[in-house]
Amino acid sequence: MPIVLERVSGEATDIASGRDGSVWIIGTDRQGGGYGIHRWDLNRWERIDGGAVRIDVGDDGAPWIVNSNNEIYHWESNDWRRLPGEATDIAVSYEVAMAIGTDPRTGGFGIYWWNWRAGGIWVERPGGAVRVTVAWGHDLDNNRFFGATYIVNDINEIYLYSPRNDRPHPWERMPGSATDIGSGGFREDSNERSERLLVVGTDATSGGYGLYEYSKRQREWIPLGGAGVSVCVDSSNRIWCIDSNNRIFRQT
């Protein structure tokens, strides 16, 4: 059954959610560094200092942003902390942070993993991409938590980071094609609890492109109905999206 979406106040160019229940957007109000940064506060958007063009939110509700100068910042103690490196996209979940750099590669730009344990440095991964998301999971059989990285490259192919010894590169091609990718909320299979994985497809329609959710059991993308250009899922399992007119929608 198609999801039902309701219009939410405001306009946005990017959207992200945290496991703490928070939802953040990059608005359309021009600021130094891009556009205004806003956090959902019950029934309105609260303006946060700074400007950005891309955003994601950690498990603790603290956002990571990329601004129009490709600078990377993390919200700490009610202020923005500049991180090393440059990026065009950012993703974070379950203590895993990933960035798409500014160095051209086949498939888009370089892919980098934030190494917390080494004092905070970006470590390059093979391949190239233009969009990235990180989805946490819990292997119930082994009681093991993990963060899975998914990317979209510049020809709309979707890949999962899955290193194996029987192939020369660590990326596993997934079915379908996408223009953006996001994750959040939760789902349960027989032996795993993990975040839901959604994409904005490549099938143009009014409001952007079709929205899809990945079914691990069926190994295919399930149409959700609706359309957008950016998508996420909040901790209450509600889908949020932005359409091509910068309008914000939320699942009822």
Contact (Cβ atoms closer than 8 angstroms) between residue 9 and residue 25: no
* Per-residue pLDDT tens digits for 146-195: 778 999 999 999 999 986 666 667 899 999 999 999 999 988 765 677 88
Checking if the pLDDT of 141 tops 80, the result is no
Query: What is the pLDDT at residue 168?
Result: 65
| Token pair belonging to 105 | 């590669």
Q: What is the mean pLDDT of residues 98-110?
A: 98
What percent of the chain is predicted at pLDDT more than 70? 95
Confidence category of residue 12, pLDDT binned at 50, 70, 90:
very high
Predicted structure pTM score:
0.94
Contact (Cβ atoms closer than 8 angstroms) between residue 180 and residue 156: no
* Per-residue pLDDT tens digits for 188-230: 765 677 889 999 999 999 999 999 999 988 899 999 999 999 9
Least Cα distance to 113 among 156, 163, 75 occurs for 163
Q: Give me the residue spans of the domains in the chain.
A: 5-251
Considering the domain delimited by 5-251, tell me its CATH architecture: 7 Propeller (2.130)
SS3 33: coil
Query: What is the pLDDT at residue 153?
Result: 98
Contacts (Cβ under 8 Å, ≥6 apart) of 78: none
What is the distance between the alpha carbons of residues 206 and 227, in angstroms, rounded to a whole number? 7
Whole-number Cα distances in Å, 29 to 61, 145, 202: 23, 38, 27
